[in-house]
Homo-oligomer: A and B are copies of this chain.
Amino acid sequence: MKRIEKKALARRGIDGLAAYVPGKPVEEAIREYGLKEMIRLASNENPLGTSPKALEAMKQALDDAYLYPEGSSTELRRKVAATFGIEADMVIFGNGADNILLMIAQAFIDEDDEVIVGDPTFSVYETVTRIMGGRVVKVPLRDFTYDLSAIVRKITPQTKLIFVCNPNNPTGSLVTEKEVAQFMDQVPAHCVVVFDEAYAEFVQERNYPQTIRYIHHQKNVLMVRTLSKIFGLAGVRIGYALGPQKLINVLCKVAEPFPVNRVAQAGGLAALDDGEFVKRVLEVNEEGKHYLYEQFSQLGMSYVPSHTNFVFVHLGMDGKLAFQKLWEKGIVIRPGDIWNLPEFSRITIGTAEQNEKLVKALAMIKKENAS
């Protein structure tokens, strides 16, 4: 008997992981402080709601809620493939981009493989790596931006995955076409580069890399996208990855039989045709961004220029304190302590009205804090 009964039941390494701790429910604050509503600027949700075309399609889809969804999201894969000029078998859909990231870890990370990520960046890369027993190698950002040259220097024979969050969450910065080209020239063939482009649709910068070209050239590249943000579908869970067949095939092997629910598939298909909504979302976002830039400056708060629907701002006071004071006033933001930048916050760009309320509240808090 090699195995003794004291051996932990959980897989090696799982015990060391922290379980996901849910945030304070917004509903509690509404009750506690007698608020009319809570302005949600913490999770980069779409302030204009959901694409109306998607909403209509989802209502219809409920008629078939008792039937299993189509397992491989065939229509969606065909549609996305056509947009990017690739084949449908170079696309895979999942239960949100989080599910895609977990599938990537399951498909590629052997125990003790190294996985390189920026720091700070989206925390799910670390979680999924540790679930699979991989080792996370964190490379600090430079000027709040992914430092691709530093990442190249950290590549070893054990490196399996490199997550490039572009634009980066939580800082909103991006790496350019040229930087990515130089980077890709130096990444060896035993590594898979995952470009997480959850916010790509918000980018107005011309030098934003067209990572699809590496996929056309059969490089070890996966591009991850989501319909949560630009189309306002966070609540129904739908995201996808593009890549060469050799990589997408591996992801298919670890996919659940029915990862994407029927409502999300119908909503996603309709959303992809809702160019009008996207246009409106981008207008509101750009206006809001420039308004916030101006107001933050007037308040003496510096910020990282953003290519997304959020701004990473240096509040110049404890982020948790600011969080609490805004919370009491009916506004929720994401304080920076989770990224070890306690004086920063990540704030979603809202509607004009929401942004004004935020600025007013921040000004008041700043005044209170100074006195």
Known: A2-B157, A11-B110. A235 touches B261 (CB 8 A): yes
In the bound complex, CA of A272 to CA of B131 (Å): 32
The answer to whether B11 and A109 touch across the interface, beta carbons within 8 angstroms, is yes
Q: Is A210 an interface residue (CB 8 A)?
A: no
A259 to chain B, nearest CB (A): 7
Q: Is A102 an interface residue (CB 8 A)?
A: yes
The answer to whether A66 and B45 touch across the interface, beta carbons within 8 angstroms, is yes
Chain B, Cβ-Cβ closest to A6? B190
A134 to chain B, nearest CB (A): 10
Interface size on A, residues (CB 8 A): 87
Known: A71-B20, A131-B254. A235 touches B157 (CB 8 A): no
From A2, A55, A257, residue with most partner B Cβ within 10 Å: A257
Residues of chain B within 8 A of A45, CB atoms compared: 66-68
The answer to whether A22 and B72 touch across the interface, beta carbons within 8 angstroms, is yes
Q: Is A141 an interface residue (CB 8 A)?
A: no
Q: Is A200 an interface residue (CB 8 A)?
A: no
Partner of A55, one of B62, B74, B253: B62
The answer to whether B70 and A102 touch across the interface, beta carbons within 8 angstroms, is no
Q: Is A347 an interface residue (CB 8 A)?
A: no
In the bound complex, CA of A273 to CA of B77 (Å): 37
Q: Is A95 an interface residue (CB 8 A)?
A: yes
> What is the 8 Å Cβ interface bit string for chain A, positions 42-63, against chain B (1 contact, 0 not)?
0101101110001100110110
Partner of A256, one of B5, B22, B72, B96: B96
The answer to whether A106 and B131 touch across the interface, beta carbons within 8 angstroms, is yes
Q: Is A220 an interface residue (CB 8 A)?
A: yes
Q: Give the residues from 151 to 200 in chain A that come closer than 8 angstroms, CB to CB, to chain B.
A: 157-158, 160, 188-190, 192
Q: Is A14 an interface residue (CB 8 A)?
A: yes
The answer to whether B237 and A69 touch across the interface, beta carbons within 8 angstroms, is yes
Known: A9-B220, A58-B62, A250-B9. A22 touches B190 (CB 8 A): no
A108 to chain B, nearest CB (A): 6
In the bound complex, CA of A190 to CA of B263 (Å): 41
Q: List 20 A-B contacts (CB under 8 A).
A: A3-B158, A3-B190, A5-B189, A9-B108, A9-B250, A14-B250, A19-B249, A25-B70, A46-B66, A55-B62, A58-B65, A66-B233, A67-B235, A95-B261, A102-B256, A106-B106, A234-B258, A236-B262, A261-B261, A263-B263
From A50, A67, A99, A255, residue with most partner B Cβ within 10 Å: A67
